[in-house]
Amino acid sequence: MLSKTIETALNKQIRIEAESSQVYLAMAIWAEVKGLEGISNFMYDQSDEEREHMLKLVKFVNERGGHAHVSELKAPNVTFGSFKEMFEKLLAHEIFVSESINNLVHISLENRDYATHNFLQWYVSEQIEEEATARTILDKVNMIGDDKGGLYLFDRDIQQLTVNSAAQQPGI
């Protein structure tokens, strides 16, 4: 059974994951309107993934005797001055999510809720991967600069982007 403290903290994370889905959706729409199909498809996929993260939390809360809540969401930024700015905001957002997950882990340990602590380890690993991907993309965007040809190639290639983060490496 979840304590009220853990239930409240997990419901806060459910809202953050839902907002993350909206952040990626807004970026997908912005990129699509700019004619960058690869970036928009990547962002649509990321939006779906964030929604899955939210649903995983919802199921966990309900399965542990709590009650998951659907709450009002903060509207994401829908316009960006450049693709570089968009990806900078994306990295900052992923760092924020990582901090929130780390806080949840801390709360679960303080409350001696080892089942929740164990469940959250997947999110810890996932955030290492999310930050690594955002940093890799931003590095590539910085390399491209204002080169339209580079942006064209990046847009074409982003869907094949794979980042092997330390969290994915067994035994390391």
pLDDT digits (tens, 9 = 90+) for 54-104: 999 999 999 999 999 999 999 998 999 999 999 999 999 999 999 999 999
Residue 47 lies inside a defined structural domain of this protein: yes
Residue 127 lies inside a defined structural domain of this protein: yes
Residue 122 lies inside a defined structural domain of this protein: yes
pLDDT above 90 for 119: yes
pLDDT above 80 for 136: yes
Higher pLDDT, 143 or 159: 143
d(CA 106, CA 18): 22
Residue 144 lies inside a defined structural domain of this protein: yes
Residue 124 lies inside a defined structural domain of this protein: yes
Residue 84 lies inside a defined structural domain of this protein: yes
Q: Assign 3-class secondary structure to the chain.
A: CCCHHHHHHHHHHHHHHHHHHHHHHHHHHHHHHCCCHHHHHHHHHHHHHHHHHHHHHHHHHHHCCCCCCCCCCCCCCCCCCCHHHHHHHHHHHHHHHHHHHHHHHHHHHHCCCHHHHHHHHHHHHHHHHHHHHHHHHHHHHHHHCCCHHHHHHHHHHHHHCCCCCHHHCCCC
Q: Domain tally for the chain? A: 1
pLDDT digits (tens, 9 = 90+) for 4-36: 999 999 999 999 999 999 999 999 999 999 999
As given in the structure block, the two tokens for residue 88 are: 């900078």
pLDDT at residue number 73: 94
pLDDT at residue number 172: 47
Domain holding 136, by residue range, is 4-162
Average pLDDT taken over every residue of the chain: 92
Residue 135 lies inside a defined structural domain of this protein: yes
Whichever domain contains 54, its CATH number is 1.20.1260.10
